Amino acid sequence: MNAVKRDKSNIDILFLLALFGVFLISALFVILFGARIYKKTVAGAEENFIKRTAVAYISEKVQKNDSENCVSAVTADGVSALRLATRVQTDTYYTYLYFFDGCLREITLKATTEFHKADGTPVLALNDFSVRQKGTLFSFCITDRTGSSTEFCIAPRCAVEQGGASHE
């Protein structure tokens, strides 16, 4: 039998090149689409991480210093701050949580030491942080780097135990 020899024509080569080109373009679109989804997912996860970390950090600090008259909202050196008082033997120490220079900051000082907002240790990068006290309830507003705000309230346990907050 004679094998029929088929001549490769220019159309066959063009078809293969076109098929390969379609494959490359499809692969490129899949990669670009996946990268966009990944970028959005990472940005959302980072935003949630910052918010949840700030809320958990502040809540933990309030609950840790949760005895009578130990938690208060103050304005010190021109910034809104949460002041937590701790008594060690005969000395009183204040821990301040406040916003300055793009960061949530913390500093612990002896009660007789003057507070300076630039001296605190940066804890978390934010756009804004504020605290207000409404009776025994503390209201916080945190704005992250994307401009998204989160508001939450904390009622210290000592206030609830003393009848300062009602669950009716």
How confident is the model at residue 165, as a pLDDT? 40
113: left (phi over 0), alpha (psi -120 to 50) or beta: beta
22 is a domain residue: no
Q: Is residue 21 part of a domain?
A: no
Distance CA 109, CA 86 (A): 10
pLDDT in tens, the chain (168 residues): 555 556 567 888 889 999 999 999 999 999 999 999 999 999 888 888 888 888 899 988 888 877 666 888 888 888 989 998 888 888 889 999 999 998 999 999 998 999 999 999 999 888 898 898 888 888 999 988 888 888 998 887 654 444 444 333
In a domain, 96, yes or no: yes
pLDDT given for residue 109 in this prediction: 92
**Residue 86: partners with Cβ closer than 8 Å, 6 or more residues away:** 65, 70, 92, 93, 94, 95, 108
Report the domain count for the chain. 1
In a domain? residue 115: yes
**Position 64 in a domain:** yes
83: containing domain: 42-161
Residue 8 confidence (pLDDT):
63
Q: What global pTM score does this model have?
A: 0.69
Residue 24 inside a domain? The answer is no
